[in-house]
Structure 1
Amino acid sequence: MRRRAVITGIGVVAPGGIGAKAFWDLISSGRTATRKITLCDPEPFRSRVAGEADFDPAGEGLGPQRIRRMDRAAQFAVVSTREAVVDSGLELSTVDPTRLAVAVGSAVGCTMKLEEEYVVISDGGRLWLTDHTYGVPHFYDYFVPSSIAAEIAWEVGAEGPAAVISAGCTSGLDSVGYAVDLVREGSADVMVTGATDAPISPITLACFDAIKATTPRNDDPATASRPFDNTRNGFVLGEGAAMFVVEEYEHARRRGAHVYAEITGYASRCNAYHMTGLRADGREMAEAITSALDESRLDPTAIDYVNAHGSGTKQNDRHETAAFKRSLGEHAYRTPVSSIKSMVGHSLGAIGSIEIAACALAIEHGVVPPTANLREPDPECDLDYTPLVARERRLDAVLTVGSGFGGFQSAMVLTRPGRAA
């Protein structure tokens, strides 16, 4: 019998509130949490809006040494891990530490601390030959993304595999997909997995400004993220984390754990085409969706809701629309689709896991989150994008997808607990 992987704990740090409940309250109500950037001076940049998390590390229980040692992204990951473990009801002391493993996704790692320390060691950018002796003792940890996985492993006492998966904006899907693979193959019984990113810093703003990927709609930050809308003109940067306890099904059943959803299928493809460009036909994303459905042993007509990548760029939204039609056929026109990026922004590698959290909670509550700010539909995006208002609906099978620079396309299927795998 195939080993199965289920989500038993969820922890979230996101714009609009800390914790899974605050996150769900925001996205199910259709409220937005995008605003003018406060984490750095945004005035020199073309795009000056983002989805920021109101995050106080001390208030969330982190001591001064960990606050000093860890980048904001690692802090997000630790805090959301703690929530996920408590939510799961799992007593970590009862788990064989060699059967407990970690997989964390991140696109840009410890960007904020790296940039802060570079400013110091380069004397504000004046020195081409920098002096590392001015850097903090933990400078090396910021260079090595695996330090985030190490923090999580130390937090939960995991002695099994520990890895960081970094594949751009699909990292949050790919890390959980990797965790599911480890559970299925028998390398772990319990995975602490998810993704984190805290990219709101001058270097990130400058990079996206250079390619005009982010929106210049600075006059009204709350409505700046407009996926599938005819007036959209770029994505809104975000930050945050979502972490999960993913268990082997029988392990969870024996202890009577509450199961949010089963992860029944996952697949990833690359278009081998362009660093930032996408083919209009959506073929690679469609292939990832079809493969994830095949692994789930589901027909396309079984999908009750699609959580779109929905970044709010012209090419991505049209590419996705084509991919859904190609993979789901006529059923694509009958299936509600939405993008939560309209409310929390695009947190790069973290967003895939934040969207998995949204999907698991959507199954739990029987609610399709809306696409905020969708008031003037793009005629080329002609599916049911659930504009403005959430929709009550029983959800037995949900599809979530991601698209990332480099040509990465990932898809995952989550199903209601108890549905046969």
Structure 2
Amino acid sequence: MKRRVVVTGIGAVTPLGNDAAITWEHILAGKSGIGPLTRLNKDDFPAKVAAEVKDFSVEEFIDKKDARKMDRFTHYAIAAAKMAVEDAKLEINEENANHIGVWIGSGIGGMETFENQYETFLERGYRRVSPFFVPMMIPDMAAGQVSIYLGAKGVNSCTVTACATGTNSIGDAFKVIQRGDAVAMISGGAEAPITKMSVAGFCANKALSTNEDPQTASRPFDANRDGFIIGEGAGIVVLEELEHALARGAKIYAEVVGYGSTGDAHHITAPAPNGEGGARAMKMAIDDGGLSPEDIDYINAHGTSTDYNDKYETAAIKQVFGDHAYKLAVSSTKSMTGHLLGAAGGVEAIFTVLALKEGIMPPTINLETPDPECDLDYVPNTARKKEMKAAISNSLGFGGHNATLAFKKYE
């Protein structure tokens, strides 16, 4: 028998705020977290804006000496994980530690560390490279360090599926609990990609917007979109087996009911024609959750603000939902957070469960000029109150990775 899984804790560090509550407040207000690129010299790049985390104090979560031995993406992961576990009021002790796991992914891991240490190597030779270089850089270290910091000794893993990472991680963690290998999982994604090489790489493949106005640069589904805005942060949830959560009187945000994960087998960066792979992931998640397409009231779209993604994701939604595609609501919160790459799915899962719990749909801001190929209800510019039964969250990544999570309002 499949065990039922619920979300009992949330934690986030985002360009809109250094916790989940402030981030969500700003999302509902339609506020943008995008600003001028300050971490790098913006004159070196055609992309001039970014969604940077602001005023984040790592010492609130990690001893200063330890923090120096970690990349920024791990700082965000530990902070978000600690907040999620605290929010869940989940006590990890000797009795339950073996049954609580961590599944946190990162798209590119410690890119900043790699660049800094490589410069040190070129200037001063191998002896000056930090002995912590490898454990700071590898993408699994967010999961490793969260496990160490929180004492969680169960399944410990890391998914790397580009921009689908956060969603795949939560889906994989959901399956761990569902099959009985853990009673709780700390899961999501973390990313700190605002570095010289990753920004250069995304500029070189023309994926980033060159719009210099931070307020309007991210415009998913709008006819004038011209690329995504690179962002950073972490989104972590505590997933818990329902009986375990009820036994300890935990508050429940929503129930995770389905997970779909597919491959395009098409192209390294472009989505499959008409979003064929994304459509299969959505259908798989809905079927896995024992739902019908008509049960879905809201979709938190991948919605990157790139030409292909928005057009093909819209086509995929129509393919899966038929006439119902025009009755449900779709929104892209990346219009406000920018694109957090491997952390996007973690943060967007949080938005999806909060939307269900509170009966309110986040908006897609900057939607001014309709694109004839993007003709669904994208909740333009203003959040909308609506009681919802079920919702899905999509993430699609380079390499043809497609992932969808299905959530139900907890009754």
TM over 0.5: yes
Query: By how many angstroms is 1:51 displaced?
Result: 0.5
* 8 Å Cα contact 1:274-1:406 kept in structure 2: yes
* 8 Å Cα contact 2:272-2:400 kept in structure 1: no
Q: Which residue of 2 aligns with 1:137?
A: 131
Structure 2 unaligned segments of length 5 or more: list them. none
Query: By how many angstroms is 1:381 displaced?
Result: 0.3
Distance in 2 between residues matched to 1:335 and 1:258, nearest whole Å:
28
The letter for the 1-side match of 2:121 is: I
Q: Which residue of 2 aligns with 1:69?
A: 69
Q: Which residue of 1 aligns with 2:60?
A: 60
Distance in 2 between residues matched to 1:365 and 1:170, nearest whole Å:
26
Change (3 A) 1:116 1:405: same
Q: Which residue of 2 aligns with 1:349?
A: 342
Q: Which residue of 2 aligns with 1:231?
A: 224
Distance in 2 between residues matched to 1:157 and 1:380, nearest whole Å:
49
Deviations 1:30-85 (A, max 9, x none): 01010111112121111121111114334533221122011110000000111101
Deviations 1:72-131 (A, max 9, x none): 1000000011110110011222752111111001100011111111111112xxxxxx82
Change (3 A) 1:34 1:95: farther
DSSP-derived class of the 1:169 partner: helix
The letter for the 2-side match of 1:97 is: A
Q: Which residue of 2 aligns with 1:126?
A: none
DSSP-derived class of the 2:68 partner: helix
From 207, 211, 219, the equivalent of 1:213 is: 207
Query: By how many angstroms is 1:261 displaced?
Result: 0.9
1:177 aligns with 2:171: yes
* 8 Å Cα contact 2:331-2:378 kept in structure 1: yes
* 8 Å Cα contact 2:71-2:137 kept in structure 1: no
Query: By how many angstroms is 1:160 displaced?
Result: 1.3
DSSP-derived class of the 1:43 partner: helix
1:44 aligns with 2:60: no
Mapping of 1:207-286 within 5 angstroms?
207-218=201-212, 220-286=213-279
Distance in 1 between residues matched to 2:395 and 2:248, nearest whole Å:
33
Q: Which residue of 2 aligns with 1:147?
A: 141
The letter for the 2-side match of 1:64 is: K
1:96 aligns with 2:96: yes
Distance in 2 between residues matched to 1:91 and 1:58, nearest whole Å:
22
The letter for the 2-side match of 1:299 is: S
Q: Which residue of 1 aligns with 2:283?
A: 290
* 8 Å Cα contact 1:57-1:67 kept in structure 2: no
The letter for the 1-side match of 2:189 is: A
Query: By how many angstroms is 1:373 displaced?
Result: 0.5
* 8 Å Cα contact 1:280-1:315 kept in structure 2: no
DSSP-derived class of the 2:391 partner: strand
**After alignment, is 133-142 or 255-264 more displaced?**
133-142
* 8 Å Cα contact 1:395-1:416 kept in structure 2: yes
From 317, 320, 338, the equivalent of 1:324 is: 317
Q: Which residue of 1 aligns with 2:12?
A: 12
DSSP-derived class of the 1:52 partner: coil
TM, length-normalised to structure 2: 0.98
* 8 Å Cα contact 1:57-1:75 kept in structure 2: no
Query: By how many angstroms is 1:201 displaced?
Result: 0.6
Q: Which residue of 2 aligns with 1:116?
A: 116
Distance in 2 between residues matched to 1:153 and 1:203, nearest whole Å:
29
Distance in 1 between residues matched to 2:328 and 2:14, nearest whole Å:
27
DSSP-derived class of the 1:92 partner: coil
Query: By how many angstroms is 1:276 displaced?
Result: 0.9
Distance in 2 between residues matched to 1:384 and 1:265, nearest whole Å:
23
Distance in 2 between residues matched to 1:3 and 1:340, nearest whole Å:
31
Deviations 1:213-249 (A, max 9, x none): 000101x111100000000000010001011111111
Distance in 2 between residues matched to 1:186 and 1:209, nearest whole Å:
44
TM, length-normalised to structure 1: 0.96
CA RMSD of aligned residues (A): 1.2
Deviations 1:183-211 (A, max 9, x none): 01111111111110000011011001111
Query: By how many angstroms is 1:288 displaced?
Result: 0.9
1:167 aligns with 2:161: yes
The letter for the 1-side match of 2:48 is: R
Deviations 1:384-409 (A, max 9, x none): 01110000001220111111111111
Q: Which residue of 1 aligns with 2:82?
A: 82
